[in-house]
Amino acid sequence: MFKYDVIVVGAGHAGCEAAMATARLGAKTLLASLNLDNIALMPCNPAIGGPAKSCLVREIDALGGIMAVAADATYMQLKTLNSSKGPAVRALRAQSDKKEYMRFVRNLLESEENLSLKQCTMSELMVENNQVVGLKDEFGLEYYAPVVILTTGTSLEARIWVGLQYLEFGRLGEASAKGLSPSLKKLGFKIGRLKTGTPARVDARTIDFSKMIEQPGDKIPSFFSFLPNRPIRPQYPCYLTRTTSKTHEIIKANLDKSPMYSGLIHGVGPRYCPSIEDKVIRFVHNPSHHIFIEPEGKDTYEMYVQGFSTSLPAPVQLDMLRSLPGLENVHVMKPAYAVEYDYVPAVQLTHSLMTKQVKGLFCAGQINGTSGYEEAAAQGLLAGINAIKYLQNKDMITLSRESSYLGTLVDDLVTKDIDEPYRMLTSRSEYRLLLRQDNADERLTKIGYDAGLISEERYQSFLNKQQSIENEIVRMLETKISPSDKVNKVLEKYGEHIDRGLKLAELIKRPNITYETLIDADESTKKLALTRDVYEQVEVKIKYEGYIKRQIQQVGMSDKLEKIRIPADIDYSKIQHISTETRDKLAKIRPVTLGQASRIGGVKPADISVLMVMIETHQLKSKG
């Protein structure tokens, strides 16, 4: 008999975060993987971050997770996207060395004394009196634990498709996980089916990069982790090419060979990361689509063809790839494929990521219907923290929508019927000016510290940084800059001029002026020599002060609904004046507050008014 405090099933990005968190917090943890050589594998794009996702990575770091540290330690390129746009949509992206990233994470796992690794297929959940007690593997061995975290990715009853052929794989070269889906169904869980895909990998030695546009990294890199002294590494370029009319002709001529278009794949694919055949058919008026050629590692010739996922047959894929400028003679190292797999719709979970039906059973990552390494890792970390809270019989952490993208992600998952792979987007947050990548530490470090994953030293460093930000804002509100030839010579480079003395805070509110402009123009600012992570937040807080205040007011209005709790014993079937469909949704999800109820798909403002009256009536009856 094997006994643990926590068993984590699956060693992708969600599983690694969950297992590290529980082990670091003192729980004897087992991390079970189908293949220990694939720990922290990036089966799709070898990259971390991007729009909205960079916020998740920064939030993971602020809470004490490992993804940001691993990305900083193993990057091949760092690039800030949307740098000319507002702070709410700026996003850091790292092209990672795939193998190096895996080795780095595995080393962290194996260095943790409370953590054990095991290669096996967990095939059956053991549950007694609606409480998980452990798992059985494919050989009949039993592993006991009061907490199980399922982070199975795309492995459950999975099959991959290349053309009209399929293999019982969850990822190319890795077996499908059998047994857990039937076990979950037997326990009463609803199981759905989703689909995703990944492009081909090609040999760099067979690419003519002169026909492509080079995409370099940032000259002065930013980093994901808030820890100081991140490593400076050589940067490698990516390349841009485009589809041609010939590419589109090949795709259209072979749609009958696509398992998706032939009806063989029943899982729903991601709307925001479509296959190339989807792009060509759905955007018929677009004559061309961007395709990025990206390195998988500094010690390999393998290149990733971003934006070119497909499930068409391998010979057709070769013709398609060779129709792209620069790839006329390309050698394909691995074919593209689609994968369909089972998932557990997350409306069956609470905001803690524990299931409603079975106590001690948590789900995180793609098993919840999400896509993306960052979404998975963030959920894994939250599940790991809450697993320990559960073991300690303490209140579990629930992150609000206004606190984080992670809070938004989880709230969307557990209150809405997700019927396609969910991808984090900036547009999913109504508070995105508050939820920026630059202030994730301000929002979440205290929570990570209270949970036990942020050290005392790091927390004090964080407090010092926040004090520096506050001090500089006060100084800029009080300090004037006077007009002079020297000052105006600097300002005129940015299309600005001053004829009278201005407070620094007034000047930086001008659209063309940044904090770096003030360093050039004002000696007192230059002498302070603040670090970029400090002055970036100072600039945003002053420049966007009015917008931020309005969003904080919006949060206050939303808080009113969040504070109105719905009695746990309410019988929704007896509520009149709302539709049967709404009653069914409320009964299925059982929101805890009116705020949560208002975000359930199909629930209208009029329904919330009815619920509010019903709650008041229920409270009066309780008092009587």
Q: 618 or 46: whose pLDDT is higher?
A: 46
With cut-offs at 50, 70 and 90, classify the pLDDT of residue 206.
Answer: very high
> 1-54: per-residue pLDDT in tens?
799 999 999 999 999 999 999 999 999 999 999 999 999 999 999 999 999 999
Q: Is the pLDDT of residue 473 over 60?
A: yes
The pLDDT, as a whole number, for residue 571 is 83
Longest dimension (CA), the chain: 82
Q: What is the 3-state secondary structure (H, E, C) of 223-248?
A: CCCCCCCCCCCCCCCEEEEECCHHHH
Q: What CATH homologous superfamily does 563-623 map to?
A: GidA associated domain, C-terminal subdomain (1.10.150.570)
DSSP result, 281-326: HHTTT----EEEEEES-TT--EEEEET----S-HHHHHHHHTTSTT
| Dist CA 230 CA 216 (whole Å) | 20
Find the mean pLDDT for residues 296-311: 96
Percent share of the chain, pLDDT over 70 = 98
Region label for 329, one of left (φ > 0), alpha (ψ between -120 and 50) or beta (otherwise): alpha
Find the mean pLDDT for residues 486-511: 92
| Average confidence score pLDDT of the chain | 92
Contact 193, 269 (CB under 8 A): no
Q: Is the pLDDT of residue 272 over 80?
A: no
| Dist CA 87 CA 510 (whole Å) | 15
| Dist CA 273 CA 99 (whole Å) | 24
DSSP result, 494-549: TT---SS-EEHHHHHTSTT--HHHHHHH-HHHHHH---HHHHHHHHHHHHTHHHHH
The pLDDT, as a whole number, for residue 622 is 56
| Dist CA 521 CA 535 (whole Å) | 15
| Dist CA 91 CA 74 (whole Å) | 18
DSSP state of 156: B
The pLDDT, as a whole number, for residue 619 is 61
| Dist CA 405 CA 492 (whole Å) | 39
| Dist CA 595 CA 557 (whole Å) | 10
Alpha carbon of 615 to those of 368, 561, 571, 620, 621: distances in Å?
A: 31, 12, 11, 9, 10
| Dist CA 163 CA 183 (whole Å) | 31
Could you tell me the two tokens for 84? 């000319």
Looking at domain 2-196+341-451, which CATH architecture does it have?
A: 3-Layer(bba) Sandwich (3.50)
The domain segmentation of the chain, as residue ranges, is 2-196+341-451, 456-550, 563-623
Nearby residues of 617 by Cβ (< 8 Å), 6 or more positions away: none
The pLDDT, as a whole number, for residue 37 is 96
Alpha carbon of 126 to those of 123, 304, 345, 361: distances in Å?
A: 10, 41, 21, 11
Find the mean pLDDT for residues 522-550: 91
Could you tell me the two tokens for 306? 């971003």
| Dist CA 199 CA 190 (whole Å) | 30
pTM greater than 0.75 (yes/no):
yes
Q: Is the pLDDT of residue 618 over 70?
A: no
Q: Is the pLDDT of residue 73 over 90?
A: yes
Nearby residues of 281 by Cβ (< 8 Å), 6 or more positions away: 252, 255
Number of other residues whose CB lies within 10 A of the CB of residue 44: 20
Percent share of the chain, pLDDT over 90 = 75
> 545-568: per-residue pLDDT in tens?
988 888 888 787 777 778 888 888
The pLDDT, as a whole number, for residue 498 is 92
Find the mean pLDDT for residues 263-286: 81
Q: Is the pLDDT of residue 621 over 60?
A: no
DSSP result, 180-196: HHHHHHHTT---EEEEE
Could you tell me the two tokens for 303? 């290149």
Does 2.20.28.120 match the CATH number of domain 456-550? no
Across-strand partners of 343?
192
The pLDDT, as a whole number, for residue 221 is 93
Contact 77, 236 (CB under 8 A): yes
| Dist CA 376 CA 396 (whole Å) | 19
Find the mean pLDDT for residues 56-62: 98
> 129-161: per-residue pLDDT in tens?
999 999 999 999 999 999 999 999 999 999 999
DSSP result, 15-59: HHHHHHHHHHTT--EEEEES-GGGTT--SS-SEEE-TTHHHHHHH
